[in-house]
């Protein structure tokens, strides 16, 4: 077996501790359900995976320099407590993504600090909770994230997210959702930031059993593999020596190569 | 004459007050030189322009809600005091860009808080001060920002910026620089963020008379027109009523359309 | 008034001469209806426009070097006779687009020779004629093509086009359609090819009165202005003299600067 | 070992049979040198590869439906005889790329029929043969094609290619070249067309020993792996039944769901 894919699943884990309807669906938390799903998918594929979870109310939100350095791909689920995530944790995660760590942002994570930080936009959208039908059309069936799917994924009861979704144009648009109530949404989008790969995937919500759906689980598994980095690389901004011999600048430039007088104004 | 294009030029304005070599080139500040250049270009084109400047050491850095609401395009030059820009000002500028205001970031502004905030990356690069030759090749001669130029712009003495420039893939790549010392750089890049258009343009530096160059001035003028917004739009994230009649969800969903029990787990 | 925008509307014009149901909607041809719509929109905006039409069964399909050289933006509607368009005409139109002429491809024009030639893909899709409702969501409200629209355009009865639409990733995705029968479609897409701007717009069909809709007409008018070229530029592939002095290559390279022997194999 | 990567290397193979200087560098043809290089790289990586070559003057240019169906990635080198490639072969290769086959186009292949067919543009550029130095800067070090490289690849003696390169904006820009004579070039570019991945890589030429360079060989090997398809998929354009029940259209629409009279003109 090859080197295991190291995945850390971060979950806000607040709804599950307070709301019996949510507990009924995710008794051990959304992170636990996703972790089990990835384990099952990896076992079926005969592929090694090393799973870890982290939640908001653990010390440092369950994340650290050591854990992220040991993480290939981080999943992120949050909803009602985005503001409770410390800015220092957002800084830490951003740095690791820019250095190469993959990031999979789920559903209401569109409003998380880390997603907005990496994209630079508001990431706002339309929404509605009416248990309506969603059909996710596969736009790029040959993309690694879409392997094993048919023409679409159908979810009988979901929260609606509608356009305009305030995001930078995705590098790749993999899914567009149709909703019974009349809206559409760019539900699967990829971006590169620094050396890291980011995938946003719309389906989910604490009050719908979306993460129990086998096709959704397949997308999450595919995304984890797709986002795996080929390398990690620290940021630098070096003063670089010349690679080709440079002529001596005119006398009005000093020895440091910068202007010493106004004589050179064109 | 049509409605004037409203431009605000923001400048750090620190080098010019302290360094005689810089004063020799930009006695009234880089912002003043750019303002005059845009005025001259507009007059030559018979086009109306309304110019304003703002600097770091004015109260609130010379910027406010009222000024930005009255600004079509903001220019940004900073170098040695990026950290002195208040986060509240960065928040304000980001919001206006996302609502539609254009932003032109110049040279060492690559490391400004506002540029990194909007792009989400480190925006680091290689650099060298050796007064070397730069040749900016025009990659998209039919783009509005490149009108009036030849195949390239040549600058006899510049600071070098080299790849890898840590930015998200630009929507449009307009200029690539060749440097005598052996490097290349993506010197003219556009991105859309929210409803605002962003242009980064590499040439500049306080110790070279770059903003006195007529072709550089032409690019700045073109960029101001290109970045002008067609509209301003506030951010919203609305709960939206359905546009098509929705069927009643199963009984296990409550009246709010959310799951009440685990029966619906797929 | 400024220089008029010169638009040529090309129409296959076969359905309208044979099918009474189509004649009832477009008695003088789809090209005539679009031409009138652009005229009306231009008059309302106080903007000058010069309109011309051309059809398949005219000599040379109504197009020539002279006409295209005098055209800023070409509209293209075809459906049942794509194969009847001469390859020499496709060559001619392609060359003018690459030199800067704008191109607006409508509805079933997705299968035209010129659209497939410029995009390089099959441009296939799903389709259904059931007079169903379409809602075109505006994804980029601040784009020039979307000016004057609300959040969406609603068409009560249309032919359906569904994903996957086999196109290269658009530079800009402006509209996504929702269809009552359950599909979605990237209905408004832009690409640059050479110096020309291309806009594909889905709505239309000979048996639905789509081009009589005021919002659709507004999009067509906006698109004509957006696609207007800033310049026209002939293609060249020049042997270029060096801009910097080059050292003499080793003796194993001849005077033409090419290898004369195997000594330089690394 | 996993399923071998199946690579077919197509070469024009005309220069090598006529020009002694070229024979000195590529005695068995450029295709042979590239094939050996890929074999060596695969052996070093412990990865299975199945190599095949094809040349212009073989029957059907050495290509067929069967061979392409059995090819994961096709390499293409051509220079002086692009026009001699049969259009039927171009049709065949295009179809396989759109169905998923990878394509790596080398150097003067920028002017091949297949590259221009897939991109839709002229693909012209500047050029000069003066045996000058080229430095290929790695723009995306974390991309799979760039693995194993340093900050740049340096070639002491090459033909120059300069901007503007008339191509659609690449999906990914991986290399930008610096030339001693003063030009720059987008030397490594990727695009998706249909289900196929395309990589253009500038270095090469029959009169320079570029394909003997180990770093260039590494890029070719990386590109073969990157372009490997996850699936093959035939093109379809189906009439699709509705997925959601549709209301009966008004009486003015016939049973086929199309307008029967002008009553519905909006």
Distance CA C105, CA C82 (A): 13
Number of Cβ within a 10 Å radius of residue C4: 13
Q: Select from B142, B172, B232 the residue whose CB has the most chain C CBs within 10 Å, as the one to mutate to test that interface.
A: B142
Place of tokens 């740049």: D152
Give residue B258's pLDDT band: very low, low, confident or very high (50, 70, 90).
Answer: low
Place B257 in a pLDDT band, splitting at 50, 70 and 90.
low
Q: Per residue in A128-167, is it b (16+ CB within 10 Å) or e — as a string?
A: bbbbbbbbbbbbbbbbebbbebeebbebebbbbbbbbbbb
Tens-digit pLDDT profile for residues C131-172: 999 999 999 999 999 999 999 999 999 999 999 999 999 999
| A4 contacts: CB under 8 Å, gap ≥ 6 | A48, A49, A50
C130 to D237: CB separation less than 8 angstroms, yes or no: no
CA distance B158 to B207: 9
pLDDT at C260: 60
pLDDT in tens, C27-67: 999 999 999 999 999 999 999 999 999 999 999 999 999 99
Nearest to B266 among A126, A213, A259 (CB): A213
Q: Do D166 and C194 count as a contact with CB atoms less than 8 A apart?
A: yes
Three-state secondary structure call for residue B155? strand
Query: Tell me: the pLDDT tens digits for B158-189?
Result: 999 999 999 999 999 999 999 999 999 999 99
Orientation of helix A30-45 relative to helix A214-227, angle to 10°? 80
Q: Is the ipTM of this complex over 0.90?
A: yes
> CA of A1 to nearest chain B CA: how many angstroms apart?
32
The answer on pLDDT for A265 being more than 70 is no
Task: State the Cα–Cα distance between residues C108 and C205, nearest whole angstrom.
Answer: 7
Cβ C19 vs Cβ C206: under 8 Å: yes
For B24, name the nearest residue in chain A, comparing CA atoms only.
A262
| Omega cis (within 30) before C164 | yes
Burial of residue D244, with CB atoms counted within 10 A of its CB: 0-12 exposed, 13-18 middle, 19 or more buried: middle
Q: Which CATH number is correct for D5-125+186-227, 3.40.50.880, 3.40.50.300, 3.40.250.10, 3.30.70.141? A: 3.40.50.880
Chain C residues within an 8 Å CB radius of A173:
169, 173
DSSP secondary structure code for residue D89 in this structure: H
Overall average pLDDT of the B8-18 stretch:
96
**If we measure between CA atoms, which residue out of B120, D265, B210 comes closest to residue C155?**
D265
Contact (CB, 8 A) for A132 and A157: yes
Q: What is the pTM of this model?
A: 0.97
* Whole-number Å distance between alpha carbons of B199 and D227: 33
Residue A177 to residue C186, Cβ atoms within 8 A: no
Tell me what pLDDT residue D266 has: 46
pLDDT at D256: 60
Q: How far is D81 from chain A (nearest CA, A)?
A: 33
Percent of chain A clearing pLDDT 70 (strictly above): 95
C69-85 average pLDDT score: 98
> Given pLDDT bands bounded at 50, 70 and 90, which one contains residue A261?
low
Residues of A in contact with D142 (CB under 8 A): 100, 195, 229-231, 233
E-state strands within chain B: 5-11, 49-55, 73-77, 102-106, 126-138, 152-162, 172-179, 184-193, 196-201
D178-215 pLDDT, tens digit each = 999 999 999 999 999 999 999 999 999 999 999 999 99
**Residue where the block lists tokens 């110049």:** B106
**What radius of gyration, in Å, describes the C-alpha atoms of chain B?**
22
Q: Which tokens in the block code for residue A212?
A: 């129990």
Residues A90-149 pLDDT 10s: 999 999 999 999 999 999 999 999 999 999 999 999 999 999 999 999 999 999 999 999
Identify all chain B residues contacting A265, using CB atoms and an 8 Å cutoff.
25, 209, 212
- The pLDDT value given to residue B79: 97
Q: Interior CA angle at B187 toward B185 and B188, to 5°? A: 145
What is the pLDDT, as a whole number, of residue A251?
A: 80
The pLDDT score that the predictor gives to residue A266 is 46
pLDDT at B266: 45
Q: Are D227 and D102 spatial neighbours (Cβ–Cβ below 8 Å)?
A: yes
Please state, in angstroms and rounded to a whole number, the distance separating the CA atoms of residues D204 and D212: 10
Q: What is the pLDDT of residue C266?
A: 46
CATH of B5-123+187-227, one of 3.40.50.880, 3.20.80.10, 2.30.40.10, 3.40.30.10: 3.40.50.880
CB pairs < 8 Å spanning A and D? 33
Name residue, tokens 């928040």. B91
Nearest Cβ partner for A163 among C137, C164, C182: C137
Q: Which CATH architecture has domain C5-121+188-227?
A: 3-Layer(aba) Sandwich (3.40)
Q: What is the CATH number of domain A5-121+187-227?
A: 3.40.50.880
Q: What pLDDT, on the 0 to 100 scale, is given for residue D120?
A: 98
Closest partner residue to D182 (CB to CB) among B135, B141, B164 is B135
Walk along chain D (266 residues) and give the pLDDT tens digit of each residue.
Answer: 579 999 999 999 999 999 998 999 999 999 999 999 999 999 999 999 999 999 999 999 999 999 999 999 999 999 999 999 999 999 999 999 999 999 999 999 999 999 999 999 999 999 999 999 999 999 999 999 999 999 999 999 999 999 999 999 999 999 999 999 999 999 999 999 999 999 999 999 999 999 999 999 999 999 999 999 999 999 999 999 999 999 998 877 766 666 665 555 54
Q: How far apart are CA C100 and CA C94, in angstroms?
A: 10
- DSSP class of residue B179? E
C221-249 tens-digit pLDDT:
999 999 999 999 999 999 999 999 999 98
Mean pLDDT of chain C: 95
Q: Which of A21, A197, A171 is CA-nearest to residue A98?
A: A197
Contacts of residue C138 in chain B, CB cutoff 8 Å? Answer: none
A61: nearest Cα among A114, A120, A100? A114
Q: How far is A182 from chain C (nearest CA, A)?
A: 7
d(CA C200, CA C182): 22
Q: Does an H or E element contain A162, and which?
A: strand A152-162
Per-residue confidence (pLDDT) for residue A263, from 0 to 100: 55
Question: Does the beta-carbon distance from D184 to B169 stay under 8 Å?
Answer: no
User: What's the maximum distance between 2 C-alpha atoms anywhere in chain C?
Assistant: 79
Name chain A contacts of C138, Cβ cutoff 8 Å. 163-164
Alpha carbon B101 to its chain centroid, in Å, reads: 10
Q: Compute the mean pLDDT over every residue in chain B, rounded to the nearest whole number.
A: 95
């Amino acid at each position: 077996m090859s080197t295991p894919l190291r995945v850390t699943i971060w979950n806000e884990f607040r709804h599950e501790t307070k709301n019996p309807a949510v507990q009924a669906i995710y008794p051990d938390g959304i992170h636990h359900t996703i972790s089990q799903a990835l384990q099952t998918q990896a076992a079926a594929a005969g592929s090694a995976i090393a799973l870890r979870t982290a939640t908001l109310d653990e010390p440092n939100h369950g994340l650290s320099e050591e854990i992220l350095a040991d993480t290939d791909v981080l999943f992120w689920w949050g909803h009602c407590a985005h503001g409770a995530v410390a800015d220092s944790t957002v800084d830490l995660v951003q740095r690791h993504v820019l250095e190469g760590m993959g990031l999979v942002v789920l559903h209401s994570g569109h409003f998380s600090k880390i997603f907005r930080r990496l994209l630079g936009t508001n990431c706002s959208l339309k929404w509605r909770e009416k248990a309506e039908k969603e059909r996710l059309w596969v736009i790029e069936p040959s993309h690694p994230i879409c392997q094993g799917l048919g023409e679409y994924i159908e979810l009988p009861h979901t929260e609606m997210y509608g356009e305009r979704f305030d995001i930078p144009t995705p590098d790749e648009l993999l899914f567009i959702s149709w909703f019974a109530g009349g809206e559409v949404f760019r539900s699967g989008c990829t971006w590169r930031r620094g050396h890291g790969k980011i995938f946003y995937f719309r389906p989910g919500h604490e009050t719908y059993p979306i993460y129990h759906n086998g096709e959704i689980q397949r997308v999450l598994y595919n995304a984890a593999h797709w986002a795996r980095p080929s390398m990690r690389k620290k940021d630098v901004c070096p003063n670089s020596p010349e690679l080709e011999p440079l002529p001596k600048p005119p006398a009005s430039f000093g020895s440091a190569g910068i202007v010493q007088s106004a004589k050179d104004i064109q």
